[in-house]
Chains A and B, each alone.
Chain A
């Protein structure tokens, strides 16, 4: 299992300008693009040249939109780089993958350096306690901080995958929370949302074996 809310809070908690923070948040589901942005923000910026144009304006994107972006890039060039200690903490968090009890200890450790993730860590602890109260051995639950990053983009909270112990099988079931989706679709109104998929064919095979 994972929790995209944990990662989003960690990124929001970085000492970054609003524009840089928004860009990272936008690309959190695209690991390659996210890593490139983070590397750029962690290095001294190089002021960029924009050639003078002679071409006539064409298309629906306006010249004003372009100038706004150029101004944003130019002011970004004056921003000092993100301290390496922060990229290091973020890397440690994103790479965390361990049985739930050990993961929880590592998260509590990280939360001391990254106070922004403390509420999410408390939430994860409560969730794991609930799972344990159902009689499930937490050593069999793998917490993977980056779990939701490469699956569907709209998951923004708790994510889960049920994996059978058979080589080459896709997940038997997967899903998670996607509250932001209803917020966007609802234009001002929202409801908490959770959903997932179950592969009935795989379930049937598992039941036949049991």
Chain B
């Protein structure tokens, strides 16, 4: 049971060491297998998923990527480009709305003491944790009433419902970690609260804001169910909706899907690896302090 002695000071037996490596290798292979299958599919001709279980491709081709890039809509527009642009605009706008609206609130919740602070914090936490799919129907009814289905503005408003509380919590955590001395010194020198915030705290918080912004970008970029419910016009799809529809119930083109999946997820996966340490800290501190 080498697993039970995580920090044992003595080196365990060779058998235990081999068993540890073997276990790690098996799990790592199980993790890599589906990813390799997708990569294989993306470069292998044919629409079917995988007749053989081997992750090595038989033939190499770039056809799927070409098909993806050249698919045309009813009016000759390049669909993939359109969908990528939709995704990009929605994610960027959501990020800007989320960060801009939540900076000051996060600072207030971190530094000021006022009645209702706890209730406010809990509200932001609860709203952030409860899934958007619960607001799906009322949002659909409201957007329908306002004629904002199939509109990117509507989608951004919908995404903001989760982006704002998320940004408030993450930024609040970041402000908590900043020292108070600078602010106090500035206040003694006669700076008002707004001046302290804009000239001292905001520049100091830049790294935290960057991380928060990147996370809300990733979340919006990866969002599937809202976009697929609200965007029914093919030219208004975002990338997740495109990917899902490419392997629909009646016609599935797994080659196209695999190529699209790689193009869509590579940028956010790279972002994830850069940011993962701050994500874990933010998530757990958020729920511990709640």
A and B interact: no
